[in-house]
Amino acid sequence: MGLDSKHVALLVLLLAAVIAMVIALILSLVKRDDISLPPGMKYGMVFDAGSSHTSLFVYQWPTDKENDTGVVSQTHVCDVQGPGISSYANNPPAAGQSLVPCLEEAMSIIPPERQRGTPAYLGATAGMRLLNLANKDASDKVLVEVSKTISSYPIDFRGARIITGNEEGSYGWITINYLLESFMKFSFSGRWVRPGTSKIYGALDLGGASTQISFVPKVQIADAAEKADFKLYGFSYSIYTHSFLCYGQNQALLQALVHAVKEKDLSQPVGFPCYPRGYQSTMALGSLFSSPCTASSAPTSSLNQNVTISGTGNATQCQDLIRTIFNFSACDGKNSCSFAGVYQPPVAGNFFAFSAFFYTFHFLNMTSGQNVQAVRDTVSAYCARDWAELLTSYPQEKKDRLRDYCGSANYILTLLLDAYKFTADSWNSITFVKQAAETDIGWTLGYMLNLTNMIPSEVPTTIKAQNYGVWVTTVFFIVLTLVLVLLMFLLYFR
């Protein structure tokens, strides 16, 4: 028996209703995680243009989690060959050209379809700050040339600039606490949880031309100039941060060398206790005063004469000499003061010391929590070694680094203990590290996170916006089913 049009219509509506009900049932049972597709990756690039060298850091993160904490990971690091970009003051185009090999490496790592959307930055630190002080025109030309080179690649270049010392310190502080999930972490209960304040770490950064200290003190910050305020994940943070230009390890040792040479008979070798015994080199006197950090100490006599520096390798005398580059007397009568009259509240909490802090202590095998006395003993033993013996023992090490480790280690001790006022007891609150969460610690990650707004100022919502899609679809099919049933009822009894 054939079906009339009325029955055919009823069967079609019935079949549609059954399908809609099945779809609604499936959607109501499926979790978002069960149907989500693997997210794509976004990339970011930051050049760290330091005083002695430049490095390119490439970061990546899932495209659907830009505002989640702890999701940015370090994909690649490329060390630019040659000195820092400030060294190209007399040949600015060469500064841009020096970046090309690392840019090519980055392009080989970032998928072509992601390159146009990759934000890229160049931040120049203390070396360029010094060049900017000495020759602003040359500094500007160097920045123009590096910008020109980076802009020639198919990426979202957002500029090259000299960052301030306090920015450098603050971004390093953000990097550490972001990587260690100190600001916020996603708990197993599905909620965003803010760890206790004891989980907020201080940052100690040491470069070639400057050094930074940043931390949350236990007292009110009395000097507004040394204060940085942040609102991260809905919580406010006030940190003390200060950057000392000319007190990076290279410039500090240069200052110590100037003090050693001062008022000496330059016709004879000048002893320098921060260099190993047996080391000797001859240089033009003027080279010691070519830096803005030492220019004001230049003698009135001819700078063209040569001076011979002879290492004497004595840790105690080296530390005594290094203390002379600090103006501690400017803090007389002040309870909260580091040196040169600079305000600093008492250090508080745990600290991560990175960059040259780590590299120097790592070479001397002192990154395993040794106490102050053990560190002093190790430094003294190294300083007493003969230069020829050091060259034989470490044939792969760069000679200038091998020469400087004695002075650098003594400088670190003086800076941390005498200037920043760490004590034998609080010394173990410092951890000397290069990485956290498999990512290099430094200012670059914090800089990128800040400029791309990837750390929100408000607490992320517990419920993901994408969850609503499943429920809206489910409700749609339920309503559709009801409509189809109603149509069948009306058609049948028409």
C-alpha count within 13 angstroms, C-beta hemisphere, residue 1: 2
Q: Cite the DSSP H helix spans in 333-425.
A: 356-363, 372-383, 387-393, 399-413
Q: Is 389 a catalytic residue?
A: no
- CA dihedral 167→169→170→173, nearest 10 degrees, is 150
φ, ψ for residue 296 (rounded to 5)?
A: -70, -15
Contact of 62 with 71, CB cutoff 8 Å: yes
- The amino acid that residue 323 corresponds to is R
- Which helix H or strand E contains 79, and what residues bound it? strand 73-79
Tokens of 370: 């040794």
Contact of 428 with 371, CB cutoff 8 Å: yes
Give the span between the Cα atoms of 329 and 326, in whole angstroms. Answer: 9
Q: Which residues pair with 440 in a beta bridge?
A: 435
DSSP string computed for 293-315: TTGGG--SS-SSSEEEEEE---H
Give the span between the Cα atoms of 85 and 94, in whole angstroms. Answer: 9
Give the span between the Cα atoms of 67 and 459, in whole angstroms. Answer: 10
Length, in residues, of the chain? 494
Closest CA to 55 of 443, 449, 450, 454: 443
Angle at 157 between CA 45 and CA 65, to 5 degrees: 50
Angle at 359 between CA 88 and CA 59, to 5 degrees: 70
DSSP 86: G
Cβ neighbours for 386, distance < 8 A, ≥ 6 positions apart:
276, 277, 278, 313
Among candidate residues 104, 105, 113, 168, the one labeled active-site is: 168
Closest CA to 454 of 262, 305, 232, 261: 232
Contact of 75 with 44, CB cutoff 8 Å: no
Closest CA to 172 of 456, 451, 440, 457: 440
Cβ neighbours for 43, distance < 8 A, ≥ 6 positions apart:
58, 59, 60, 75, 110, 114, 115, 118
Q: What amino acid positions are annotated as catalytic residues?
A: 168
